[in-house]
């Protein structure tokens, strides 16, 4: 049996919506990355971008287990001496509530030329209202 090869013009993209209120960050990000990559479809091809759009609402109410709000660090370096910057999860959340989910999903996608295109299909909103009602998104199931 051979892997089906689908052309980019033949890809049918659906819209899904996820409510992040009370959901654990890692489980949420893993499921969203799975859908963005298109692995939930029977026509999945590793080298083709066949994923769907995902709208995440209530991103500001995501749950981190244990002491991760104070212990988990997001580290950046400017490549200049003394340019190391560390921020805790609570500091990142205070500045931009959607950045925690975006970083987690980006880290769960493979590092290749498709990652930027897949990330463009992720829409994050800190509150419950969003601008994608016209697309009639379906509720994404299977997130604990």
Q: Could you tell me the domains of the chain? A: 13-131 (3.90.1180.10)
Three-state SS at 34? helix
The DSSP secondary-structure symbol of 142 reads -
User: Above 90 in pLDDT, residue 4?
Assistant: no
Q: Are strands 53-57 and 15-19 parallel, antiparallel or unpaired?
A: parallel
The 10 Å CB-count burial string (b at 16+, else e) for 111-139 is: eeebbeebeebbbbbbeeebeeeebebee
pLDDT tens readout for residues 14-60: 999 999 999 999 999 999 999 999 999 988 888 888 999 999 999 99
Are 107 and 120 contacting, i.e. CB atoms less than 8 angstroms apart? Answer: no
> Could you tell me the pLDDT band of residue 1, with boundaries at 50, 70 and 90?
low
pLDDT tens readout for residues 114-133: 999 999 999 999 999 999 99
Are 13 and 38 contacting, i.e. CB atoms less than 8 angstroms apart? Answer: no
pTM: 0.92
Are 36 and 116 contacting, i.e. CB atoms less than 8 angstroms apart? Answer: no
127/102 Cα distance (integer angstroms) = 15
Q: What is the CA radius of gyration of the chain?
A: 17
pLDDT computed for residue 45 by the predictor = 83
114/111 Cα distance (integer angstroms) = 8
Bridge partners for 74 per DSSP: 87
pLDDT computed for residue 60 by the predictor = 95
């Amino acid at each position: 049996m051979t892997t089906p090869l689908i052309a980019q013009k033949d890809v049918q993209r659906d819209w899904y919506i996820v409510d992040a209120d009370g959901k654990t960050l890692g489980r949420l990000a893993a499921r969203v990355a799975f859908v963005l990559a298109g692995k939930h479809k029977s026509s999945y091809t590793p080298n083709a971008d066949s994923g769907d759009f995902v709208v995440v609402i209530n991103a500001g109410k995501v749950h981190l287990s244990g002491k991760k709000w104070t212990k988990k660090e997001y580290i950046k370096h400017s490549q200049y001496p003394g340019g190391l910057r560390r921020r805790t999860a609570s500091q990142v959340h205070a500045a931009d509530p959607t950045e925690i989910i975006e970083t987690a999903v980006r880290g769960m996608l493979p590092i290749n030329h498709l990652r930027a295109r897949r990330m463009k299909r992720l829409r994050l909103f800190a509150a419950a209202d969003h601008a994608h009602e016209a697309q009639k998104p379906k509720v994404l199931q299977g997130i604990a």
